[in-house]
Amino acid sequence: MIRNPIPWPNGAKCAVAITFDMDADSLIHVAKPDDSIDRLYPISMGRYGPQVAIPRILETYRRLGLKQSFFIPGWCLETYPNIVESILKDGHEIGHHGYIHEDPINTRGHQREWFERTLESHKRICGTLPRGYRAPVYNITDEVINLMVEHGMRYDSSMMADDIPYQLETPKGSLYEMPVHWGTDDWPPFAHYDEIGYMMPVKSPSEGLSGFWEEFEAQYASGGFFMMILHPFLTGRLARWKQVEIWIEKTMSEKNVWIATLDEISQHMDDLIEKNIWKPSIEKLPYYKNTVFNKKG
């Protein structure tokens, strides 16, 4: 049961978003700034994303007529402009994902600089400003939320307070939240990355993805929202992407789903609110104004 299901377009039973965070090799440069350029293995693992996985993913989307959302750090837009061009040429959405995948918690107090530098990259490389944002490592802060509101952005996709999209209300304005969760993120089943402290035992493609499909079935049965948070260098690998491709084709032919970009879902929510058909649940920010636990008692 979902408390407040969203009526989807054309009577669809579930909205589906297959989102990709194209971090490429930004991860290793942030994790090991002193000697990242000497670490060819993680650089090459990251480069697999834009160079091999993204063309493969785009080909599937083109064949199936899908438009989806990609989140790409500003530095990656600048480093891989040809791939960005091919993503945009096919009509997909590109969202803000930090400048070089800097963690908003580790760069607290300096987010304006990083955030606006990324907007500049979007303007220069994509020719447009992003409508949505996903925090690197999901570490969204009130500082970033305020910058999003200030720059008129429409949605965040980093938080986990509900099953379906909801609204964030701050003293300065509001945004939609397209909620993520670890059960539909490919990092836990597939990432093995010692340099950033992530040592998961890698699962087989079918085992790693089977939990995702269970999440989808539950959302579908409740008229919900199913979003995958994928990384090209993980799930864009040959055997894993084959599994996802088979799932998309099967879902499109057997189920009544609306496969959309997050910006399209935001637009749909705007329309429902404007026509008084549906109202989102609301989370008020900031959550806390003072430290909750004081060690001194």
Does 93 bind Zn ion (CB under 5 A)? Our answer is no
- Which of residues 138 and 213 has its CB atom nearest to Zn ion in the complex? 138
Does 102 bind Zn ion (CB under 5 A)? Our answer is no
Name the residue with the smallest CB distance to Zn ion: 21
Structure letter (DSSP) for residue 183: G
- Which of residues 23 and 162 has its CB atom nearest to Zn ion in the complex? 23
- Which of residues 79 and 174 has its CB atom nearest to Zn ion in the complex? 79
CA 272 vs CA 5, 87, 99, 170: distances in Å: 12, 29, 33, 21
- Given a contact cutoff of 8 angstroms between Cβ atoms, the answer to whether 214 and 206 are in contact is no
Does 185 bind Zn ion (CB under 5 A)? Our answer is no
Residue type, 235: T
- With contacts defined by CB under 5 A, name the span among 20-28, 161-169, 245-253, 257-265 that binds Zn ion: 20-28
- Which of residues 133 and 225 has its CB atom nearest to Zn ion in the complex? 133
Number of residues that bind Zn ion (CB under 5 A): 2
Does 23 bind Zn ion (CB under 5 A)? Our answer is yes
CB of 253 to Zn ion, least distance (A): 32
- With contacts defined by CB under 5 A, name the span among 16-24, 175-183, 276-284, 285-293 that binds Zn ion: 16-24
CB of 27 to Zn ion, least distance (A): 7
- Which of residues 14 and 17 has its CB atom nearest to Zn ion in the complex? 17
- Which of residues 21 and 102 has its CB atom nearest to Zn ion in the complex? 21
- CA 159 – CA 39 distance, rounded (Å): 32
Helices (H), the chain: 26-31, 40-48, 54-64, 74-79, 81-89, 111-121, 142-150, 187-190, 205-221, 232-235, 238-254, 262-274
Nearest to 177 by CA among 87, 283, 268, 250: 283
- Given a contact cutoff of 8 angstroms between Cβ atoms, the answer to whether 255 and 9 are in contact is no
Determine which residue in the list 14, 21, 240, 259 makes contact with Zn ion, applying CB under 5 A: 21
- With contacts defined by CB under 5 A, name the span among 21-29, 206-214, 243-251, 266-274 that binds Zn ion: 21-29
- CA 223 – CA 257 distance, rounded (Å): 10
CB of 99 to Zn ion, least distance (A): 12
Q: Which residues bind Zn ion (CB under 5 A)?
A: 21, 23
